[in-house]
Amino acid sequence: VDHQKADWVSIHEQICQLLIPIRTSLPFLLSEKERKHGTEQLVKRQKYIIDLAYSTAQEFVLGGKHKEAIPAALHALRFSTEVYGSNSVQLVPAYLLLAEASTGVGHLPEASKYLSQAQWIVLRTPDCSVAVQYKLHRGLGLLCAAEGNFEQALYHLANDIYLASSTFGLKSIEASGGYFHMANVFFRQNKMDIANSLYAEV
């Protein structure tokens, strides 16, 4: 009951009506053209649900409601898997969001599992975009920081900043997130001068 309530509050209420046509199978006696059109409509609906579930989960994470984000992020992952396949780089954003939400509620083993999946997909995708790579390093950095492994956290956050700034520029919003998380790590190490200069950079 608790899981159902959490799922309902998180995302299900928004997508409940959208699931009906997706779960309804196409009639058997259709022409090739009608079947193709039906399949295209199905994929379009699934992609809409992916975007809706992902953005909802992202809003919850940004609002500090990590527990509420998990069911929405799981829906984004499930539908991404259905549309793109289980090894597609399109799954990485959902895995990273699940990792961040899991870290936020203190479920570090789950966060580690999601990050491992994301990392494995990125390693198998030679032309993976820098936008995905820097977010992966950020996720790994946040997990290491949550585990108290500050040196490893700084390594990943340095990679995050390098990748983000080389693509989007040193003064970009994308790079500022890495500076902010790195400042938090230095703050937790009581290296206040470094932390304050990084906060100023943000």
DSSP 48-89: HHHHHHHHHHHHHHHTT-HHHHHHHHHHHHHHHHHHH-TT-G
Q: Which domain holds residue 146?
A: 129-201
Cα separation, 45 vs 35, in Å, equals 15
Query: How many residues are given for the chain?
Result: 202
SS3 202: coil
Nearest Cα neighbor of 65 from 135, 16, 10 is 10
pLDDT of residue 26: 55
| Confidence band, pLDDT 50/70/90 cuts, at residue 195 | very high
Task: Report the number of distinct structural domains present in the chain.
Answer: 2
pLDDT (average), residues 64-89:
92
- 95-127 per-position pLDDT tens digit: 999 999 999 999 999 999 999 999 999 999 988
The pLDDT > 70 percentage for the chain reads 85
Residue 95 and residue 20 in one domain: yes
pTM over 0.75: yes
- Residue at 193 is within a domain: yes
Which residues, at least 6 apart from 117, have a Cβ–Cβ distance to it below 8 Å? 91, 95
Domain co-membership, 100 together with 2: yes
The sign of the dihedral angle between the CA atoms of 174, 178, 181, 184 is negative
Let me know if residue 47 belongs to a domain.
Answer: yes
In this structure, the answer to whether residues 139 and 101 fall within a common structural domain is no
In a domain, residue 118? The reply is no
Within a domain: 122: no
Residues 55 and 87 in one domain: yes
Cα end-to-end distance, the chain, whole Å: 43
Name the band, by pLDDT with cuts 50, 70 and 90, for residue 23.
low
Q: Which residue has the higher pLDDT, 62 or 8?
A: 62
Does residue 21 form part of some domain? yes
The pLDDT confidence band at residue 30, using thresholds 50, 70 and 90, is: low
Q: How far apart are CA 177 and CA 168, in angstroms?
A: 12
Check if the beta carbon of residue 158 is closer than 8 Å to that of residue 179. no
